[in-house]
A and B are shown apart, each in its own frame.
Chain A
């Protein structure tokens, strides 16, 4: 199979749509959370303004090469994740650079950003960033474990490592979704999803009240803007993976938007109303609740 160059502009188009959707979705989620707090919240376009503002700041300070590379790594993690999984099933334009073994790559990219961030934040020299990073790594590792198990289960179930094929297998009826064919795997993955979305009760990494927002403490100006961009892409990309693996993918943009929104809402539903766990609590929680589910999922398959 020869590489089709047309895929590159198509992928960039996907990226463009996702960035905008991500920015708007983040704002919408913020508005929803604000609504629970009985207020209106930010305007829907606020994230764009913030980004322009941050890019437009006149000074920025670097603490070293890795400090600069941190957001870049993170962004490439997000972009990479997005580009190597198909966004819209069955669409040539938006299947991106998906290929046979992309599931493994996706798993790698999920972790990649965090690692990059860890290196960058470590370089920033701020003790709270260091604490945040160590918490983040511990928690992400714990949260990745059930996810990996779930992915493993799914891969076993569909006997493929290609996301496209997994999505294809779920087409037809919503009863074909992994959600119904392998609920344990989905449950394990969704618990892990809670842990990776940086929302309570698993946001001890950022924890503004303890370690002023943790790893990104020192990030500012265009670095921060870069991270904001990533914050629009990465969760969406991750949810694309979830959507593809467990919720039957999307065959068109509207379905994509709705599904992503709903998946996002899962973490918000929990996040808005709970306080946060300790990192020990959350690690223990993943190991006690999520990992067994993943194991069961694998076992059942």
Chain B
């Protein structure tokens, strides 16, 4: 059958372990994907050194979206930081809002109303659905199947409508504030949400038929882009990427936050750790989120009550010295905020730990070696990275 040479010897290494790549030999070609490149996930770039169709070395270049959030947050008060954190990750901004709010609440000792916890969980799951839908479109698109992106973006847009009526904005919701959430569910929200969830399930059924039960798609993704077991820890792999490798690691289950200990679910896991499995894990995780939203809507307090705890006057809010780390399971993996306070009205230091940070940098650079250049885009998408959370 097909000729499958052992590629582990390539590219050749020098005695000191560095890659033996001589650009002047004419054997290698430097190839930049991005930042202006449709195959790149957002505004970043990868510098590939290819030999024929095979990648000998890949380097991720980020910083195109760097705004210096961690610096900016040091000169904004605790409340002023709440609108800016969501900008750190565009497709799934809510985790920033939640992690930041939770870190602040923990250090300031604020007890959030239970209702707010439910609404927060609802928003996070809605955001997760959006993020996954975008991923599915991107994954199929990276392989040339445009129609999936059309369908998934359509249903994502329906979900954005739900976001809009709940939070007052489509993309940057700015709804989860330190202290709670801004408001209760609007009237009739549950019905409309149920309708949207139905649409999403329909779309997913189609996507399953057209994308996952697809000979060409399988051909392109099965066995490609495998994350080896020993890389999982050394490269800080989290989220669907680690679950696709068969490790049932899900912060929602391991260290339950918000109301996840009151919901019934099991982490979705896969087996093969290749692109296909990761896509499949995400698809099933999406369905899990649909189910979780139903659970949340049926179990949360049905009446309207306060959704915000009383905070000090936000204009002069000071927090005692302390440090903490708050994490959540976002669609891409572990999302966390490390917050240090020093008793002043401003954070001393905020560090955002986005899953893309490890995935797109060290892990991707490791995985791209020996990869066919036609697979690079698909591989990058399958790690589901969002550049803004790498560089902040």
Contact = CB atoms under 8 A, between A and B. Distances in A.
**A and B: interacting chains:** yes
B141 A209 contact: yes
Interface stretch (B145-153, B182-190, B296-304): B145-153
B121 to A, nearest CB: 31
Interface size class of A (residues with CB under 8 A): 20 to 34
Contacts of A33: 147
B61 to A, nearest CB: 17
Contact of A201 (B144, B373, B374, B375): B144
A278 interface: yes
Contact of A203 (B29, B144, B214): B144
Interface in A222-278: 272-278
Interface stretch (B72-80, B216-224, B285-293, B332-340): B216-224
A90 interface: no
A272 B144 CA distance: 9
A204 B374 contact: yes
Interface residues of B, number: 32
Nearest to A203: B144
Contacts of A274: 144-145, 214, 216-217
A269 to B, nearest CB: 12
Contacts, number: 83
The A interface, classified by DSSP as helix, strand, loop or mixed, is: loop
Nearest to B221: A275
Contacts of A36: 147
Contacts of B374: 204, 207, 210, 278-279
A278 B220 contact: yes
A208 B38 CA distance: 7
B147 A277 contact: no
B372 A278 contact: yes
B363 interface: no
Interface in A121-142: 127-128, 131
A39 B150 contact: yes
Nearest to B203: A38
A101 interface: no
26 contacts: A37-B146, A38-B150, A38-B151, A127-B31, A131-B373, A200-B145, A200-B216, A201-B144, A201-B216, A204-B144, A207-B144, A207-B374, A209-B38, A209-B39, A209-B143, A210-B142, A210-B374, A211-B373, A212-B37, A212-B38, A272-B147, A274-B144, A274-B216, A277-B216, A278-B374, A281-B220
Interface of A: 33, 36-39, 127-128, 131, 200-201, 203-204, 207-212, 272-281, 284
Given A210-B142, A279-B53, 9 more contacts: A127-B30, A128-B31, A207-B374, A210-B33, A210-B39, A275-B140, A275-B214, A275-B217, A278-B220
